[in-house]
């Protein structure tokens, strides 16, 4: 798969830095990153990217406005969550959700699957174990 440009939206700075490094190590490029819904929505509307990776809960706010901006542009996305798929924004049911923390291998497979419009082969359970 060709390298992708990625919008990363995650409110926890250390997790965002870890994900940034993992994404770059996988051969992709993080072109923009945000830690809040306001920043994320603005970047989602103006930046040029191939894929967005979104934390579901950003400082107590649901990421839905960011996801809607991405969907309006017809761009792919998937979610990250420490709480599982329960908080997935309305209208985005069935979208891939990676449980934090995720492994580089699972992140790679999810990026590849979403970019190729397939479902990921494997998801993590609530404890982070692959199934």
pLDDT, one tens digit per residue, over 66-82 is 999 999 999 999 999 98
> Quick check: is 23 in a domain?
yes
pLDDT at position 130: 45
Per DSSP, what are the bridge partners of residue 53?
8, 78
Bridge partners, residue 97, by sequence: 79
> Is 60 part of any domain?
yes
Residue 49 counted as domain residue: yes
Residue 122 within a domain: no
Give the pLDDT confidence score for residue 60 in this predicted structure: 93
CB 114 within 8 A of CB 98: no
Q: Say what the pLDDT of residue 124 is.
A: 44
The CATH number that applies at residue 43 is 3.40.50.2300
pLDDT given for residue 58 in this prediction = 95
Q: Are 35 and 14 in contact (CB under 8 A)?
A: no
Asked if residue 124 belongs to a domain, the reply is no
pTM comes to 0.87
- Domain range for residue 12? 5-115
67 inside domain = yes
Cβ-contact 77, 71 below 8 angstroms:
yes
Per the domain annotation, does 59 fall within a domain? yes
120 part of a folded domain: no
Number of domains in the chain: 1
| Range 108-128 burial, b when 16+ CB lie within 10 A, else e | bbbbebbbeeeebeebbeeee
Dist CA 76 CA 95 (whole Å): 10
């Amino acid at each position: 798969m060709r390298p992708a440009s990625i919008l990363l939206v995650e409110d926890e700075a250390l997790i965002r830095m870890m994900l940034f490094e993992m994404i770059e190590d996988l051969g992709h490029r993080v072109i923009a990153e945000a830690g809040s819904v306001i920043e994320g929505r603005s970047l989602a509307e103006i930046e040029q990217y191939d894929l967005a990776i979104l934390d579901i809960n950003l400082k107590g706010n649901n990421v839905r406005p960011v996801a809607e901006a991405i969907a309006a542009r017809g761009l792919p996305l998937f979610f990250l969550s420490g709480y599982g798929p329960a908080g997935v924004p309305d209208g985005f049911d069935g979208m891939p959700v990676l449980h934090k923390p995720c492994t580089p291998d699972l992140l790679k497979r999810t990026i590849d699957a979403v970019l190729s419009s397939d479902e990921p082969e494997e998801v993590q359970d609530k404890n982070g174990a692959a199934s």
